[in-house]
Amino acid sequence: MYTFIKFGGSVITDKRGQEAPDLPLITQLAHELAQARQVRPDLALILGHGSGSFGHHYAARYGIHRGLAPGSDYQGFAQTAAAALRLNRIVVDALLAAGLPALALQPSASIQARAGQIVTWATDNLAQALEHQLIPVVHGDVAFDSAQGSCIISTEVLLAHLAHHTSLRPQRIILVGEAGIFSADPRRDPQAQRIPLITTANLASVLNATGASHAVDVTGGMRSKLELMWQLVQAIPNLEVHLIGPAPGQLQAALLGTAQDVGTIIRER
């Protein structure tokens, strides 16, 4: 079984800026992955990351996520893809420097979409990378869209497609971003309480409390991410999704199964 990991774009970059990577944090997360792999060499990992202040900035400026009409100038499409690749290079280089066999795989080179959803994605190379104990690294990216010209495919949608439509079924998904899901926006409400566990019993009330992201995000914010993860939890038996923050040690502990009372776990029961 596989472990899917996502580094949130709002964590590894400053989304209020433009192309502003958090290099110390990216390095920290890379080293935690390496330390976990040293303890558990059998960990089969697929890593994805958001585009943060790289891709989102250009996508919002040119409206790539809304689609491009026939005859439109695709300069913005190219700019968005290039920005996402620049961040991907930073992440992959940090992983390689930490001693991890990371392999960049650009989603837009092999995805066809319709109405914002993946229709086909050639993932044979990704599967072969795993056979060779490599760590495939994908990222939120642009895609050609037969219905609307262009779209953005988020990292969560990429991971969901792998889980639903390939044999690469995850046992765990670890999302490194917000320090969990809260009863209210903790940035605005000091009384907000972290919700340690989301199951069928409290899902509806949690969805009512979640909203959009706090900076430019063309992929829908926290609510859409939660809804997508819940669909996966329902579809894949015994799948557990763990949302954690980037505090030192949390990613390594989550990978090794030693994290205690941090973040939010999503499971069916």
Q: According to the annotation, is 149 in a ligand binding site?
A: no
Give the pLDDT mean for 95-101. 98
Residues in the chain: 269
Residue 212, pLDDT score: 46
The answer on whether 56 is annotated among ligand-binding residues is yes
pLDDT at 152: 95
Is 221 annotated as contributing to ligand binding?
yes
Pairing of strands 2-7, 170-176: parallel
Residues 124-157 pLDDT 10s = 999 999 999 999 999 999 999 999 999 999 999 9
Q: For the chain, what is the domain count? A: 1
CA-to-CA distance for 18 and 20, rounded, in angstroms?
A: 5
- Greatest Cα pair distance, the chain, in angstroms, is 54
Portion of the chain with pLDDT greater than 70, in percent: 96
User: What is the span of the domain harbouring residue 13?
Assistant: 2-266
**pLDDT tens-digit map of 247-269:** 999 999 999 999 888 999 999 88
pLDDT, residue 82, reads: 97
The answer to whether the annotation marks 167 as part of a ligand binding site is no
Tokens standing for residue 254 = 């989550």
Closest CA to 198 of 177, 163, 165, 227: 227
Whether residue 52 is annotated as binding a ligand: the answer is yes
Identify the CATH number of the domain in which residue 103 sits.
3.40.1160.10
Nearest CA among 103, 174, 107 for reference residue 134: 103
Mean pLDDT of 41-46: 96
pLDDT tens profile 54-67? 988 888 889 999 99
Do residues 83 and 57 touch, judged by C-beta distance below 8 A? yes
Find out whether 57 is annotated in a ligand binding site. Answer: no
